[in-house]
Amino acid sequence: MNINELLKIKKKIILASKSPRREYLLKLLGLNFDIIPSNIDESQFILTSPSDFVETLSKEKAQVIANLHPDTIIIAADTIVWLENEVLSKPKSYDEAFKMLRKLSNNTHEVFTGITVLHKNATKIISKVSRTEVTFRYLTDEEIDAYIKTGSPFDKAGAYGIQDDFGAVFVSNIKGCYYNIVGLPLSLLYDILKEFQS
């Protein structure tokens, strides 16, 4: 018996994300799902706290898709990297990526993911937040330069992916869910999905 059979979810599922990492992680659970990215304007949302911010964004992403597919279970998530009261977003240039990785070097930051599961017709919505502490070892300029030149940092919050070859060796310690750092806390999602069993 796989997790999909264990969950006994008979409704159609939509992942409201274009992230290839979230798609990969959701497939690990053996779930059948479609992908419809939720393109909301994140700049309109005010950051009050990192946990409230990611939870709000995940809810908004889920709601946009649920309005179009009310009898479908929608899974949405939002992840940020948080260091010294600052959000480290996806870098837009080499210099920006270099500065982010230099800040992360020999330092501990936090990764927050808000996750929302919503079934509009059943008027059921659950939103939760996962937090993980991540510590980087000291990074040399040569290591940072080599990593940026792979192009990998540019589609990742905080300019790194723990699942990358470089990202894997940059991280010396984590406290919390590994999959949260990748972008979808699977244990938390599984617990939420149990509430949506048909």
Which residues does the annotation mark as catalytic? Answer: 78
Q: Give the CA distances from residue 141 to residues 69, 73, 101, 144, 154, in Å, rounded to whole numbers and listed in that order.
A: 48, 45, 9, 5, 18
Q: Give the CA distances from residue 22 to residues 74, 135, 144, 146, 154, in Å, rounded to whole numbers and listed in that order.
A: 13, 22, 25, 26, 17
Q: Give the CA distances from residue 75 to residues 31, 32, 86, 148, in Å, rounded to whole numbers and listed in that order.
A: 12, 12, 27, 31
DSSP 45: S
Q: Is 147 exposed, middle or buried (0-12, 13-18, 19+ CB in 10 A)?
A: buried
